[in-house]
Structure 1
Amino acid sequence: MTRLDELSAFLTVLGGVARSVVVAERGFSRRTVDAGVARGIITRPRRGWIAATDADRQLVAAARLGVVLTCRTQASRLGLWLHDHRGRPHFAVPPHSAPQLPVDAKLHWGRVPLPRHPDALADPVENVLAHIAECEPFEQALATWESALHGGLVTVESLHGLAWKPAARGILLRASPFADAGLETYVRERLRWLKLRVLVQIWIAGHRVDTLIGDRLVLQIDGAHHTGSQRSEDIRHDAELLLMGYRVIRGEMCASQGCIGRIRPCEEHISARGAHARRRPPRRSVQWTHEHRSGITGELSEERFGRLSAGRSQ
């Protein structure tokens, strides 16, 4: 292996982009770097930086612009759920700086829970979540946080050990690792005012359901993968749930974010019709209920039973 091959391998380990000083500290000479540039193996995106020609284009751009990928941009790179992946890039820049960038970007100067290494071109997930909390509406930010928790990128315990700003602390208090998608977070949050128990991603009849509202209302939020054999299995599970006394709401429209606005009328119908409540047999008599509330427990004596019977016959 030539020295240039070793340099290429070292750049790969570093993510494809590195400061020139880091390369020099590993013993690679300026002549080796120049040879790589001449052969088209290495580029210089900015003074003091080198990159492999096949390096991540966003990391190369970050080195060229002197910024750090963060917030929505880095969240998308990490595979986190976002309400909308479109829009301008989000960059972190040093405090009190005012860079003149050739692109329209959202810049973040704020304090973050984890210090940034001088060579960093992309924020760790904790810093990404901190900026998401400040940049996105509460509901959308919560969905992104829960995506990170569900994916195992962070844990609730580890997040509690960091210093957060007020917006992030509020999200952390409500965040749960059990939501599989952002729409499930939206549903749970928008049903909070009903004061009902809302459970997400729980197992019923051997299958996982998206949301259980109250005792028996199951809400299934379908995505694009609910086709073919998966769709047939979903229908079979729905039938089994119906036989067990559950009510099932399933709709492909919920796979699109356009259905979010329809949750509010759904809330009102759930509350008005009592679709979430399990039917219970009626109480046998007012007298029995009164005696129970008076503190009677255990078996009734013959004398008490006689008084109750006489009361019912009057």
Structure 2
Amino acid sequence: MLSARHVVESAGGVAPTSALVDAHVGRAAVDRALACGELVRVRRGWIATATADPLLVGAARAGVVLSCVTEARRRELWVLDDDHLPHVAAPAHSGRASTAGALVHWSTPLVPRNPGTLTDEIENVLALVAFCQPHEAALAIWESALRKGLVDLRAMRRLDLPPAARRLCDEADPFADSGLESLVVPRLRWMRLPLRRQIWIVGRPVDLLIGDRLVLQIDGGHHVGAQREADIAHDAELALRGYHVIRVGYRAIIDDWPAVQSRIMRAVAQGLHLAA
């Protein structure tokens, strides 16, 4: 028979007491685990291990689920938002949740929520992200979810999506390679030039091909050491074949986009995006 602690750990560290009943763990075993500090009572109907994730414990205590950018970050999606205030979801017009210190999304979920879970379904997460976040930040999260295979656009379109989510569903590209790409492409569409992501040229993909010959390479945190040397060599090969390469980093895109855009505009003005 499984121990009380093992059952709760298997559920992610926080579980409804019904999970212990379903696992045939007796009341005496639960009381022993509580007495020795292996488990703690969160509130009526919920129990946790002593080392459980504080976000999950807080959600159980408040009667909400983790959602929006908080759950997106927990799922390791690309989240630009740096506000670490927990985002949670509760049923529309619910007066039961006690949510001090959290941003609460009072909404009817697209996908029904199991009352025994503390984290929202990915479809609900993305719908709340669409409502909560600026468009390009939300797009980066959506494309990150597509990249990880967590959601299917065809299935999303069959849901009763609100307008902001419907727009993201139409714009999201499942082939985006990074969150930075998700930010850059919409910012350049006004130029009305072909923008092709992850095109293979000289044996490797380039992040963005603008027109026929202008390559924008976007460096994330992994572009160091051997990766950096390979990038430099590839840039040289591209130049030998008539491509013009602009390489930018994370901070330039996030903190100094006007300078990046100006560089691209000047390259286009010189015709560096055109085939010879």
TM bin, normalised by shorter chain, reads over 0.9
Q: Contact conserved, 1:41 with 1:53, CA < 8 A, in 2?
A: yes
Q: Deviation of residue 100 (structure 1)?
A: 6.6
Instruction: Identify the match of residue 190 of structure 1 among 187, 190, 200.
Output: 187
Higher Cα Rg, which structure:
1
Confirm or deny that 1:273 pairs with 2:266.
no
Instruction: Identify the match of residue 225 of structure 2 among 218, 223, 228.
Output: 228
Confirm or deny that 1:11 pairs with 2:19.
no
Instruction: Provide the C-alpha distance between the structure 2 equivalents of 1:196 and 1:48, rounded to a whole number of angstroms.
Output: 58
SS of 2:79 mapped into structure 1: coil
With 96-105 and 134-143 compared, the bigger mean Cα shift is at 96-105
Q: Contact conserved, 1:222 with 1:254, CA < 8 A, in 2?
A: no
CA deviation profile, 1:110-169 (whole Å, cap 9, x unmatched): 222211011120112111100000001111111110011112111222322322111100
Instruction: Provide the C-alpha distance between the structure 2 equivalents of 1:228 and 1:21, rounded to a whole number of angstroms.
Output: 51
Instruction: Provide the C-alpha distance between the structure 2 equivalents of 1:121 and 1:48, rounded to a whole number of angstroms.
Output: 13
SS of 1:202 mapped into structure 2: strand
Q: Deviation of residue 26 (structure 1)?
A: 3.1
Specify whether residues 82 and 175 from structure 1 end up closer, same or farther in structure 2 by C-alpha distance, changes over 3 A only.
same
Confirm or deny that 1:143 pairs with 2:137.
no
SS of 1:225 mapped into structure 2: coil
- Residue identity opposite 2:15 in structure 1: A
Instruction: Identify the match of residue 205 of structure 2 among 200, 204, 208.
Output: 208
Instruction: Provide the C-alpha distance between the structure 2 equivalents of 1:138 and 1:263, rounded to a whole number of angstroms.
Output: 20
Instruction: Provide the C-alpha distance between the structure 1 equivalents of 2:85 and 2:99, rounded to a whole number of angstroms.
Output: 12
Instruction: Provide the C-alpha distance between the structure 2 equivalents of 1:182 and 1:252, rounded to a whole number of angstroms.
Output: 12
Confirm or deny that 1:28 pairs with 2:18.
no
Q: 2:70 matched to which residue of 1?
A: 73
Instruction: Provide the C-alpha distance between the structure 1 equivalents of 2:245 and 2:62, rounded to a whole number of angstroms.
Output: 52
Q: Deviation of residue 254 (structure 1)?
A: 4.9
Instruction: Identify the match of residue 103 of structure 2 among 86, 102, 106.
Output: 106
Instruction: Provide the C-alpha distance between the structure 2 equivalents of 1:17 and 1:253, rounded to a whole number of angstroms.
Output: 36
Instruction: Identify the match of residue 116 of structure 1 among 105, 113, 116.
Output: 113
Q: Contact conserved, 1:42 with 1:53, CA < 8 A, in 2?
A: yes
Instruction: Provide the C-alpha distance between the structure 1 equivalents of 2:95 and 2:88, rounded to a whole number of angstroms.
Output: 12
Q: 2:84 matched to which residue of 1?
A: 87
Percent identical pairs in the alignment equals 46
Q: 2:243 matched to which residue of 1?
A: 246
Instruction: Provide the C-alpha distance between the structure 2 equivalents of 1:152 and 1:75, rounded to a whole number of angstroms.
Output: 14
CA deviation profile, 1:151-197 (whole Å, cap 9, x unmatched): 21112223223221111000110100111222211211111111111
SS of 1:187 mapped into structure 2: helix
Specify whether residues 107 and 205 from structure 1 end up closer, same or farther in structure 2 by C-alpha distance, changes over 3 A only.
same
- Residue identity opposite 1:200 in structure 2: R
Q: 1:128 matched to which residue of 2?
A: 125
With 73-82 and 22-31 compared, the bigger mean Cα shift is at 22-31
CA deviation profile, 1:221-267 (whole Å, cap 9, x unmatched): 11222222211111110010011111100133656621334344245
Instruction: Provide the C-alpha distance between the structure 2 equivalents of 1:92 and 1:70, rounded to a whole number of angstroms.
Output: 6
- Residue identity opposite 1:156 in structure 2: L
Instruction: Provide the C-alpha distance between the structure 2 equivalents of 1:251 and 1:74, rounded to a whole number of angstroms.
Output: 29
Specify whether residues 102 and 151 from structure 1 end up closer, same or farther in structure 2 by C-alpha distance, changes over 3 A only.
closer
Q: Contact conserved, 1:222 with 1:255, CA < 8 A, in 2?
A: no
Q: 1:63 matched to which residue of 2?
A: 60
Q: 1:292 matched to which residue of 2?
A: none
Q: 2:157 matched to which residue of 1?
A: 160
Unaligned 5+ runs, structure 2: none
SS of 1:250 mapped into structure 2: strand
Instruction: Provide the C-alpha distance between the structure 2 equivalents of 1:173 and 1:132, rounded to a whole number of angstroms.
Output: 15
Alignment RMSD (CA, Å): 1.9
- Residue identity opposite 2:249 in structure 1: E
